Structure 1
Amino acid sequence: MSDLDDAPLQHVEAGVDEIPIKATNQQNLDVILRIPVDVQVVLGSATMPVSNLLKLGRGAVVPLDHRVGEPVDVVVNGRLIARGEIVVVEDDNSRFGVSLTEIVGPTGSIE
């Protein structure tokens, strides 16, 4: 239950008809909640010359700059928002997930 549900119903003049503010706010919130975002979990990165990249084949291993056990970055629409640990999804042992351990504040600080 949100704060919008507890707010008193108010009206705004809109021509001949009156529009309830509570309903308008809920509709705006519903629109915002449907916006798709791109979520990425960054396991690490690597830099290599194009010549080495072209030599990669099936089964090749590319060493990353992160080590096992280090937190991974959670990035939304290109912006770091959190850090977390890789976990195995309980319902499906063939899938991985991320358990968030730190939330990055708007100024880049950890909360």
Structure 2
Amino acid sequence: MISDPGNGGGLGLEEMDAPERDGPAQVIERTASDLEAVFDVPVRISVVLGRTRIPVAALLKMDIGTVVELDRQVGEAVEIFINERLVARGEIVLVENRLGVTMTEIVKAG
């Protein structure tokens, strides 16, 4: 028991030893039903076509019809972000008059 007798009893925290392990940690397998509580949590998916940097003076000169050159080539993979974290790359596709993206690579965390 960890407590300071001078503080009127204190928090009364108890010291405990961690259980001993004889081998490597067990891997706990999860199934889709284990994650059911988070299935309806919304996430933001963003697809980045490309980026560029320009001086403020050039930005102020922009008007309708101005072309902004990006750092990507036509046909080059776009980046797919979930909640601002890069998770995949893909190709732009047309889906019934709307833009879509086909995932071509999953980015490993690290």
SS in 2 for 1:41: strand
Supply the RMSD in Å over aligned alpha carbons.
Answer: 1.8
Give identity over the alignment, percent.
47
Instruction: Count residues with an aligned counterpart.
Output: 81
**Which blocks of at least 5 consecutive residues in structure 1 are unaligned?**
6-24
One of 25, 32, 36 as aligned partner of 2:38: 32
Work out the CA distance in 2 between the residues paired with 1:105 and 1:66: 22
Map 1:1-111 onto structure 2 (within 5 A).
3=31, 25=34, 29-89=35-95, 92=96, 94-107=97-110
Work out the CA distance in 2 between the residues paired with 1:95 and 1:3: 34
Runs of 4+ in 1 over 3 A off after TM superposition: 2-5
**Who wins on radius of gyration, i.e. which is larger?**
2
TM-score by length of 2: 0.67
Question: Which of the pair is proportionally richer in helix?
Answer: 1
TM-score by length of 1: 0.66
